[in-house]
A = this chain, B = another copy of it.
């Protein structure tokens, strides 16, 4: 008797294929980005290279530089400035990861020990600053004030989003709109900027740049919402970070916001104790998962992620069909379906 694979695993495998096709389309560009990441991380200070190589070796999906590369090519760009600029985007992303892990006290990153778990908080703060500065040096060498403007603004918005998130942490009054504003700043701003830089380097008109920016922003929101859902749903071995991290840190993410909106008095008291007062016992994560399941909160979060994904895809309509547009569209599937 033949056993049918479950529908979710089919979807997931199709999404992975879409991701691989996107990477293959700009495989040579990506290779050059990887090379530049390694060479531009070199410093006369050995600890910088050590720590940076730890992160680089851990891999990561390189989805943000991929957005820059694909956006530039979609806009017909035939030069090679997009290589250095995609590297800048990855450096800024890596700097924010280093600082986030210090802020969150995370022990895992990309399935390996986080930098702060190995080196303590000091080096990751300072190496993050180094990566950030190095990114700006690369942009200056490129010489486009427009690109500098896009990425300096994105960096400021990301920091603002992270600070805003400190205040929503443990605050059960955080509603969906306020939460989405944080997500738009802390995550979507860099997805948007990564795409915008691709259009800018190609010297395309404002309409194309705005379309790619809209695509990137909505893709970024979808990506973060899936991340939030996975934190309450994923197999930790596959995701590379712990399930329940957000719960343990008292972060108010969309699954919790949706469950709170439907909570009875007892559930509300549970969330208050565990997330606001951070008074958690060994069985509380399981109970949180049960409450979320009762209200379909994770499924509803993924539903919203899909809707943002569709808005991302719709923004691509101004471009003619072709392999690069298909690749960007495939990245939407990938971002959504990694939740299955």
Residues of A at the B interface (CB closer than 8 Å) are: 43-48, 95-96, 99, 102-103, 121-123, 125-130, 132-134, 136-137, 139-140, 143, 145, 148-149, 152-153, 155-156, 158-160, 162-164, 166-167
Given A103-B121, A122-B103: A136 in contact with B148 (beta carbons within 8 A): yes
Please tell me if the beta carbons of B166 and A153 are within 8 angstroms of each other in the complex.
no
Which of B44, B160, B163 touches A160 (beta carbons < 8 Å)? B44
Please tell me if the beta carbons of A130 and B160 are within 8 angstroms of each other in the complex.
yes
- Give the dominant DSSP class at A's interface: helix
Closest 10 CB pairs of A and B: A130-B159, A133-B156, A133-B155, A136-B152, A129-B159, A103-B122, A137-B152, A126-B162, A45-B164, A126-B163
Question: How many copies, total?
Answer: 2
Please tell me if the beta carbons of B133 and A43 are within 8 angstroms of each other in the complex.
no
- What are some 5 contacts across the A-B interface (CB < 8 A)? A125-B125, A126-B162, A130-B163, A136-B148, A140-B152
Which of B99, B123, B133, B143 touches A152 (beta carbons < 8 Å)? B133
Which of B121, B127, B136, B143 touches A163 (beta carbons < 8 Å)? B127
Please tell me if the beta carbons of A126 and B156 are within 8 angstroms of each other in the complex.
no
Please tell me if the beta carbons of B99 and A126 are within 8 angstroms of each other in the complex.
yes
Residues of B within 8 A of A47 (CB): 163-164, 166-167
Please tell me if the beta carbons of B45 and A160 are within 8 angstroms of each other in the complex.
yes
Residues of B within 8 A of A148 (CB): 136, 140, 148
A315, chain B: closest CB distance, angstroms = 25
Given A45-B163, A126-B99, A126-B162: A136 in contact with B121 (beta carbons within 8 A): no
Residues of B within 8 A of A132 (CB): 129, 132, 155
Most buried by B among A95, A102, A128, A152: A152
A162 to B, closest residue via Cβ: B126
Please tell me if the beta carbons of B140 and A145 are within 8 angstroms of each other in the complex.
yes
Please tell me if the beta carbons of B121 and A121 are within 8 angstroms of each other in the complex.
yes
Which of B46, B102, B155 touches A125 (beta carbons < 8 Å)? B102
Given A45-B164, A140-B148, A145-B140: A133 in contact with B159 (beta carbons within 8 A): yes
Please tell me if the beta carbons of B136 and A155 are within 8 angstroms of each other in the complex.
yes
Residues of B within 8 A of A121 (CB): 102-103, 121
Residues of B within 8 A of A149 (CB): 137, 140
Given A133-B152, A133-B155: A126 in contact with B145 (beta carbons within 8 A): no
Residues of B within 8 A of A133 (CB): 152-153, 155-156, 158-159
A134 to B, closest residue via Cβ: B156
Residues of B within 8 A of A129 (CB): 95-96, 99, 128, 132, 155, 158-159, 162
CA distance A153 to B103 in the complex (A): 26
Residues of B within 8 A of A152 (CB): 133, 136-137, 139-140
Residues of B within 8 A of A140 (CB): 145, 148-149, 152
CA distance A103 to B43 in the complex (A): 20
New contact pairs (15) apart from A130-B156, A133-B152, CB-CB < 8 Å: A44-B160, A45-B160, A99-B125, A102-B121, A103-B125, A123-B166, A127-B159, A128-B129, A129-B158, A129-B159, A129-B162, A130-B159, A130-B163, A137-B152, A137-B153
